[in-house]
């Protein structure tokens, strides 16, 4: 089983539930798709401007390899410019 999510710090993350999910074919396909293994979080990460469509595409790819996949993503609010500092007389 894999969890595929968007993460603000990591980018697109494909996290296996256990080492049994890390088959040679799965590792090879994820690497070809631009993912790299992060030993820090024990997951494959692709640091780019990922979208919900990227989450779905990655999940579909893993399902085609025979994995069960859970996904999660949230649309982030648009960036808001900081307010100027307040001047006190």
Q: Report if residue 84 sits inside a domain.
A: no
Give dist(CA 88, CA 59) in Å, integer. 53
- Structural domain span for residue 67: 2-72
For 16-38, how does the pLDDT look when each residue is reduced to its tens digit (9 = 90+)?
999 899 999 999 999 999 999 99
pLDDT top residue among 61 and 87: 61
Q: Report if residue 77 sits inside a domain.
A: no
From residue 21, alpha-carbon distances to 7, 37, 79 in Å are 21, 14, 37
Indicate the number of domains in the chain.
1
What's the CA dihedral at 35, 65, 20, 52 to 10 degrees?
50
At residue 4 the predicted structure's pLDDT band, cuts being 50, 70 and 90, is very high
At residue 81 the predicted structure's pLDDT band, cuts being 50, 70 and 90, is low
At residue 80 the predicted structure's pLDDT band, cuts being 50, 70 and 90, is low
């Amino acid at each position: 089983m894999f969890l595929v999510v968007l993460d603000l710090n990591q980018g697109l993350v494909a996290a296996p539930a256990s080492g049994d999910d890390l088959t040679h074919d799965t590792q090879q396909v994820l690497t070809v798709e631009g993912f790299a293994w992060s030993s820090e979080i024990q997951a494959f990460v692709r640091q780019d401007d990922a979208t919900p469509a990227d989450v779905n595409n990655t999940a579909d790819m893993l399902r085609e390899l025979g994995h069960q996949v859970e996904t999660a993503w949230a649309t982030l609010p648009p960036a808001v410019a900081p307010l100027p500092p307040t001047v006190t007389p």
